[in-house]
Amino acid sequence: MKIEGFEVNPQLDLVLDRTVDVPVELVWKAWTEVEHLVKWFVPKPWSVAHCEVDLRPGGKFNTVMRSPEGQEFPGSGCYLEVLPNKRLVWTSALLPGFRPAPKAVNTHELLFTAVISLEAVSKGTRYTVIAIHPDPETCKAHSDMGFTDGWGTCLDQLVECIKNGEIA
Amino acid sequence: MKIEGFEVNPQLDLVLDRTVDVPVELVWKAWTEVEHLVKWFVPKPWSVAHCEVDLRPGGKFNTVMRSPEGQEFPGSGCYLEVLPNKRLVWTSALLPGFRPAPKAVNTHELLFTAVISLEAVSKGTRYTVIAIHPDPETCKAHSDMGFTDGWGTCLDQLVECIKNGEIA
């Protein structure tokens, strides 16, 4: 299966493919501006305690998720492709500046690359996420963590923020 | 120390910085076309048994080095930045398509990102390589393997190929 130029391997990759009735430009904005990311990026009642965005290949995409109990989970990422209103790619395999991530960092974190593809369609935006993993074990772990529900819930939150005018 | 927008950390990174008296366009060609890469990419009497180039971010950069005894060492890489005549970046931390490299692949291989920066100067080309590692141990291992001599010898071979007309 090929999505937006990416070969999807069902044993290694997870896909969320939905169409949402909001404009592609606002979905891009939601994904790329810190003030908006914090509103929807983690499923409530979890929250984003901190977020840093340096929107360029090699730039930083760091987030700190906070559990309802107040425990914090930092995630370090690096942007790989930044194609406005079209595609955003980042990976947890690299730190900012394209530095390979040391094994010790973010041991709670999954090793994966995220490809967010957007396409303007008559009903709004076709929104496709591909989560690309190094091996079947990591893919299964991500699936068991609830990839589809989790990313789906976040997308619902994103759409709601656009519809209620929080992201405009 | 900052080189071409990259923060160099002396504990994690290795640098080769030279000026060579050949044109920047031919150095770029030497680095990006398979028929030329095989002529200079490994220090003789080692050779390149096989090489694949898909010159775009996310594209494949695979090489198989062959020892004088005939042993082969495959290396899998992924291009990150392709800025003609200016900068080429690839990493062994990702497979083609930005897939995080599984730990089992290429165990002989070092985890690093290579940044090749080129600049046209009056004497020819300023040629800077930054090898970016995840931790001090990997950096030291690369240094002990002879990074400076090895990459320097390859650059000498590259320059020689341009001067004798093999790369034109």
Q: What pTM does this model have?
A: 0.93
Q: Where are the beta strands (DSSP E) in A84-145?
A: 87-91, 94-95, 99-100, 113-121, 124-132
Q: Is residue A155 part of a domain?
A: yes
**Residue A57, in any domain of the structure:** yes
Its ipTM equals 0.93
Q: Is residue B78 part of a domain?
A: yes
A20: CATH? 3.30.530.20
CB-based burial label for B165 (10 Å; 0-12, 13-18, 19+): exposed
Q: Give per-residue pLDDT as tens, A80-131.
A: 999 999 999 999 999 999 999 987 555 567 899 999 999 999 999 999 999 9
Question: To which H or E segment does residue B15 belong?
Answer: strand B13-20
Does the residue A168 lie in any domain?
Answer: no
> Domain span at residue B96?
2-163
User: Does B168 fall in a domain?
Assistant: no
| Total domain count, chain A | 1
Asked whether residue B131 is domain-assigned, the answer is: yes
Residues B14-65 have pLDDT tens digits of 999 999 999 999 999 999 999 999 999 999 999 999 999 999 999 999 999 9
Shortest Cα–Cα distance, A146 to chain B (Å)? 20
Chain A nearest C-alpha distance from B79 (Å): 10
**Closest by Cβ to A97, choosing from B57, B92, B132:** B132
